Structure 1
Amino acid sequence: MDERADVIVVGLGPGGRHVAGALARAGLDVVGVEAEPVGGGFGTAGRVRRQAAHHGDDRPTTDDLAAWGVRLVRGTGRLAGPRRVAVDRSAFAARRGVVLATGARPRTADVAGLAATPYWTPRDVTAGRELPASLLVVGGGGTGVEIAQRFACAGSAVTVIEAGERLLAREEPEAGRLAASALRADGVDVLTGARVGRVEHDGVGFLAHVAGEPTVLAGERLLVATGRVVDLAGLGVDTVGLDPSAVAVPTDGRMRAGAGLWAVGDITGRGGGARMVSYQAEIAVRDVLGRPGPDADHRALPRVILPEPEIGAVGLTEQQARGLGLNVRTALASIASPGRCEAAGGEGFVKLIEDADRGVLVGATAAGPAGGGVLYGLQVAVHAEVPVARLQHMIHGDAAVHHAVEVALQALRRPARD
């Protein structure tokens, strides 16, 4: 016979823990299901040292859940029909519903020989305490860039291998060029347009063979940072009418994925890191409790990449905006910015993306010593659809990055290119 609860939360990473704790504190009978350490990862290399200090010891977090009244069930949860979850040989039924917060797992690169080697994923990096003499990083997205610079500044010889033509492929081209320049200034070898075809490990180090070239790269450790994927088939979503081959669980504005079913975090395919997880979790909690509030609004999704110079972005990139058929007007202003290591240096910038027909910003990128910090003002402008004409007449701060925002806004006065 199924064990019953008001709500079952599958996955107790940051999002699941938030949901389970909030619902339990509100008086609901909550079961939380997790096979791995509760609390999950911190997500980026910027949190490496914090997570390393507590890796494998989730007692503080589980103690919190117990104090809130959450019943912790250890094991892998799988949907077994509407409002039902199977955990190994046990089964649970939810009176109100199920919240999916299982996150995503590191994507495994399609590289010959890789599976037989002790390669690292970003999670392994956060767990480790060793500093390798040399590190090969496969993947030049945000996580790969952050980790590469951190290890380079700590003294490792680092090489980044990116299959695409530039780093940070999901961001503005200027951001990718800036990241590559900053990494090279910090001593990192950056290879773009290069795909690793085969990997070997001799018990001491790695050899990475670049596909179609005679180039062979050597490193003591190899990190695969090629993104994250969601395993919906393993979660049993087909038992509730969802597509197990989909890349994410579709949700509405209240984070509902179906009757008595909610989803938050990476599993929704929205990205955005810890802040997005908390945002979605709070909306799901409110809906489960039947409390009113606005629907989720993902238009002004913030993204912060933490190399130096720091890169913050919000909303659409220029390419995305043009792909949606918008009448796009852009402006770019440069700003001097130091690198992370003492000898590093580089150029920061502010780039604004305007929907010229409506006269509002739909995207922005700020890169510099406070790129993530200045992002908040740009995020408010995108989210609230503040008219560009009004932004152009506001008083800006004295910081160089604020001045760059002002310069870029004034540049938007020129006629649209399209």
Structure 2
Amino acid sequence: MAAVRADTADVVVVGLGPGGEEAAGRLAEAGLDVAGVEEGLVGGECPYYGCIPSKIMVRSAGLLAEGRRIAGHAGTVMVHPDWRPAARAVRGATSDWDDKIAVDRLVGRGVRFLRGSGRLTARDEVTVADTDGNEIAVRARQAIVLAVGSEPAIPPIPGLARTPYWTNREAIRAEEPPRSLLVLGGGSVGLELGQAFCRFGTPVTVVEGMQRLLPREEPEAHELLLKVLTEDGIEVHTSARVGSVEYRDRSGFTAYCERGERLAAERLLVATGRRSDLIRLGALAIDVDDEAAALPVDERLRVAPPVGGRPGIWALGDVTGKGAYTHMSMYQADVVVRGILGEGGPPASYHAVPRVTFTDPEIGAVGLTEWEARERELVVRTGYADLSASARGRTHQIGNDGFVKLVADMLSGVLVGGTTAGPYGGEVLGALSVAVHARVPLTVLREQIWAYPTFHRAIGDALRQIG
């Protein structure tokens, strides 16, 4: 066994996804000696296997859908799907899954980059192991930042582990659309990728164990997506739990559902959520239960504050359990950097977390759903507006299905949540995100002038329903 080499740094950042990279870079630019540790690709899941390449696929698939809508509205057209341009665009955007540009950017900001897996081996130490088995034990003088992200959560379905199933990573790297696709999971990842492949000609079946698609969101979002995805040709099974999976080279995958369905496809995409591996991180070294779902953090993102000359331990991103979003990790990175530099400022707040599912139609949401607000025993009133009624000047176009739903707390007189579903739903969400974040009084929102004929005008219609 090779000897463990010793090193020191002011700050050790474990995990260089969007938030980890930002924190490491800013701390280095502030004059600290920062060691950044990453086993995979610098930049994390988002630019290589998540947000960016998946949106290229979604956009390409959307162009096909728009082309098919021309008939009867603007002329005639023949649409012939071709996956190759989309695959080339994905490879270009990811630099063919090479992070040299990102590493150079990080080093250019003054960070010492260590390629390898980092695990906590003491309250103030991270041991980094490279692919050759060489290890460096880096002792932190001031802080350790844990930004290890998450990985696809694979359910313990009998037979699944022995099959060549896909996660989002294999789906993103696909050189051609599968002849047929079975998607386990009706959340954002499964629906976005499933709809994209469907529009390129792949027969797609989605299986969701809960009663609704996007089970965290408003039931109206499920109803809308169920209608639209079915019209796209996607077969949707909800409240369907898979009891076992088998795979054969010639016939592909077969999933056997507990209530009797037998579903077959060439490829199987597992999109049943994500998890952070605290065991691999070595969480026990800092007295954290390594079987927990997330690292416990306070409002300053501290797992453990600096004490007795020992460095503080901060965490950010997916591993905190506050939302597996790139924008969350970047937001938390700012709180962590200010904490380490002693700059103060506001603590982390999660009352207005925005989230968008980039299906067609897009589903944007911020803050609490109606159910969550009632669970908190707020005095709830809701407002709902159908886009077909709010944007009459645009209803001659097809593909304009959608709605706006608002959730208000009548005691405080502010919105605590909202959903914008429809064309540009993620962009329309911006107005509601500001309103929920800033706790803008309903009386002020009702005075707002909403441009006509826009989709965001539906916000005004929904406000009038609240009264």
Structure 2 partner of 1:46: 55
Matched, 1:349 2:403: yes
Q: Which amino acid aligns with 2:11?
A: V
CA RMSD of aligned residues (A): 1.8
Out of 45, 52, 56, which is 2:97 matched to? Answer: 56
Provide the rounded CA distance (Å) in 2 between the counterparts of 1:272 and 1:384: 23
Aligned to 2:373: 321
8 Å contact kept, 2:245–2:256: no
- Aligned match of 2:452: 398
1:104-119 to 2 correspondences below 5 Å:
104-119=150-165
Q: How does 1:359-378 map to 2 (within 5 A)?
A: 359-378=413-432
SS at match of 1:80: strand
Q: Distance in 2 between matches of 1:253 and 1:81?
A: 24
The answer to whether residue 145 in structure 2 is matched with residue 124 in structure 1 is no
Change over 3 Å in CA distance of 1:126–1:65 after alignment to 2: same
Moved more, 270-279 or 158-167: 270-279
8 Å contact kept, 2:387–2:400: no
Cα deviation digits, residues 306-340 of structure 1 (max 9, x gap): 01111110000111111111111111111139xxx
C-alpha distance 240-212 of structure 1, shift in aligned 2 (>3 A): closer
Secondary structure at the counterpart of residue 233 of structure 1 = helix
C-alpha distance in 2 between matches for 1:345 and 1:64: 41
Q: Which amino acid aligns with 2:290?
A: P
CA contact (8 A) 2:400 2:423 kept: no
Moved more, 291-300 or 262-271: 291-300
Aligned-partner Cα distance in 1 for 2:35–2:16: 10
Cα deviation, residue 347, structure 1: 2.6
Query: How far apart are the structure 2 equivalents of 1:289 and 1:122?
Result: 37
Distance 1:203 1:400 in 2: 51
The answer on whether the counterparts of 1:12 and 1:40 sit within 8 Å (CA) in structure 2 is: yes
Partners in 2 of 1:331 and 1:202 — Cα distance? Answer: 51
What letter matches 1:249 in structure 2?
L
CA contact (8 A) 1:199 1:207 kept: yes
The residue number in structure 1 matching 2:394 is none
- Give the AA of the match of 1:76: S
What corresponds to 1:175 in structure 2? 221
One-letter amino acid of the counterpart of residue 160, structure 2: L
Query: Matched residues in 2 for 1:128 and 1:52: separation?
Result: 10
What is the aligned partner in structure 1 of residue 332 from structure 2?
A: 280
Structure 1 position 408 matched with structure 2 position 462? yes
Question: What do the CA deviations read for 1:196-255 (whole angstroms, capped 9, x no partner)?
Answer: 222121124533333234432221111000000111122111211222222111222222
Runs of 4+ in 1 over 6 A off after TM superposition: none
TM-score scaled by length of structure 2:
0.84
- Counterpart CA distance in 2 for 1:257 and 1:129 is 42
The equivalent position to 2:39 in structure 1, one of 31, 35, 39, is 35
CA distance in 2 between partners of 1:128 and 1:69 (Å): 36
Q: In structure 1, give the amino acid aligned to 2:329.
A: V
What is the identity, as a one-letter code, of the residue corresponding to 2:180?
S
Equivalent position SS for 2:210: coil
Q: Equivalents in 1 of 2:179, 2:286: separation in Å?
A: 49
Which residue of 2 is the match for residue 300 of structure 1?
352
Distance 1:248 1:403, change over 3 A: same
Equivalent position amino acid for 1:9 in 2: V
Does the 8 Å contact 1:350/1:401 carry over to 2?
Answer: no
The 3-state SS of whatever aligns with 1:56 is: coil
CA distance in 1: counterparts of 2:347 and 2:90, whole angstroms: 32
Q: Give the TM-score of the pair, scaled to structure 1.
A: 0.93
- Residue segments in structure 1 that go unaligned for 5+ positions in a row: 338-342, 414-418
Q: Post-superposition shift, 1:270? A: 1.0
Structure 2 regions of 5+ residues with no counterpart? 58-85, 130-134, 306-311, 392-396
Counterpart for residue 257 of structure 2: 211
- Confirm or deny that 1:255 pairs with 2:309: no
1:93 to 128, 139, 151: 139
Q: What is aligned with 2:19?
A: 15
Give deviations 1:3-53, integer Å, cap 9, x for gaps: 100110001111111111111122211111111122112234325566543
Q: Which amino acid aligns with 1:263?
A: A
2:363 is the counterpart of 1:311: yes
CA contact (8 A) 1:264 1:284 kept: yes
Alpha-carbon distance in 2 for matches of 1:319, 1:247:
23
CA distance in 2, matches of 1:134, 1:106: 22
- Please tell me whether the aligned partners of residues 14 and 40 of structure 1 are also in contact (alpha carbons under 8 angstroms): yes
